[in-house]
Chain A
Amino acid sequence: MNQHLSSPSCPALSTTDGQQITLAHGEGGRLMRRLLRERILPALEGTRKHDEDDAATLPLVKGQCAFTTDSYVVSPLSFPGGDIGTLCVYGTVNDLAVAGARPLWISLSLIIEEGLGLPVLDSVLQSIAAAAREANVTVVTGDTKVVPRGAADRLFINTSGVGLLLSPPIAGPAELRSNDELLVSGPIGRHGMAVMAAREQLDIQPCPTSDCASLVAAVEALRAAEVPVVALRDATRGGVAAVLHEWADRCDCTLAIEEASIPVTPDVRGVCELLGLDPLHVANEGTMVAAVRPGFGAAATDALRKVPASAKAAIIGRTTERSISPVVVRRGLGRYLPLDEPSGAPLPRIC
Chain B
Amino acid sequence: MKFLDEFRDPTAARRLLAEIRRAATRPWTLMEVCGGQTHSLLRHGIDAELEGIVELIHGPGCPVCVTPLEAIDFACELCLRGDTMLVSFGDMLRVPGSRGSLLDARAAGGNVRTVYSPLDAVELAHRHPELQVVFFAVGFETTTPTTALAVHLAAARELENFSLLVAHVRVMPAMEAIAASADCRVQAFLAAGHVCTVTGCAEYAPFVARFQIPVVVTGFEPVDLLQGILECVRQLESGRLRVANCYRRTAHDSGNPTAQRLVSDVFEICDRPWRGFGVIPRGGVKLRAEFKRFDAEPRFAGTRLPVLDPTECKSADVLAGRIKPTACASFGTTCTPDSPLGAPMVSSEGACAAYFRYAGSSHTPTHATRP
A binds B: yes
Task: Please encode chain A, from 272 to 298, with 1 for each CB lying within 8 Å of some chain B CB and 0 for all others.
Answer: 010110000000000000000000000
A275 nearest in chain B by CB position = B116
Q: Mark B101-142, 1 if CB is under 8 A from A, else 0.
A: 000000000000011100000000000000000000011101
On B, residues with C-beta under 8 Å from A are 1, 4, 8-10, 13-14, 17, 36, 42-46, 48-49, 63-64, 89-91, 93-94, 114-116, 138-140, 142-143, 194, 222, 336-338, 347-349, 356-368, 370-371
B223, closest chain A residue (CB): A332
B116 surroundings in chain A (CB, below 8 A): 200, 202, 275, 348
**CB-CB nearest in chain A for B94:** A347
Contacting residue for A332 out of B10, B142, B368, CB 8 A: B10
Which A residues are within 8 Å of any B CB, using their own CB? 181-182, 200, 202, 254, 256-258, 266, 269-270, 273, 275-276, 317-318, 320-321, 323-325, 328, 330-338, 340, 343-344, 347-351
Instruction: Across the interface, name the chain A residue whose C-beta is closest to B9.
Output: A332
Residues of A within 8 A of B368 (CB): 256, 318, 320
Most central of A202, A333, A338 by chain B CB within 10 Å: A333
User: Is B90 a contact partner of A320 (Cβ separation < 8 A)?
Assistant: no
Residue contact A331 to B43, C-beta cutoff 8 Å: yes
A350 to B: closest C-beta gap in Å: 5
Assess whether A343 is in contact with B63, with CB atoms less than 8 Å apart.
no
Our pick among A269, A320, A351 for the contact of B371 (Cβ within 8 Å) is A320
- A333 & B49 in contact (Cβ 8 Å cutoff): yes
Residue of A at shortest CB range from B370? A258
Given A320-B366, A340-B357, A349-B348, 17 more pairs with CB closer than 8 A: A256-B365, A269-B1, A273-B4, A276-B348, A320-B367, A320-B371, A323-B361, A323-B363, A328-B363, A333-B14, A333-B17, A333-B46, A336-B364, A337-B362, A343-B336, A349-B347, A350-B91
CB proximity of A347 to chain B, nearest CB, Å: 4
Q: Can you name 19 A-B residue pairings with CB atoms under 8 Å? A: A254-B365, A266-B1, A273-B4, A320-B366, A320-B368, A323-B363, A331-B44, A333-B14, A333-B17, A335-B44, A336-B364, A337-B44, A344-B94, A347-B91, A347-B93, A348-B91, A350-B91, A350-B138, A350-B143
Nearest CB of B to A187, in Å: 14
CB-defined contacts of A330 to chain B, threshold 8 Å: 371
* Contact assessment for B44 and A332 in the assembled complex, using a CB-CB cutoff below 8 Å: yes
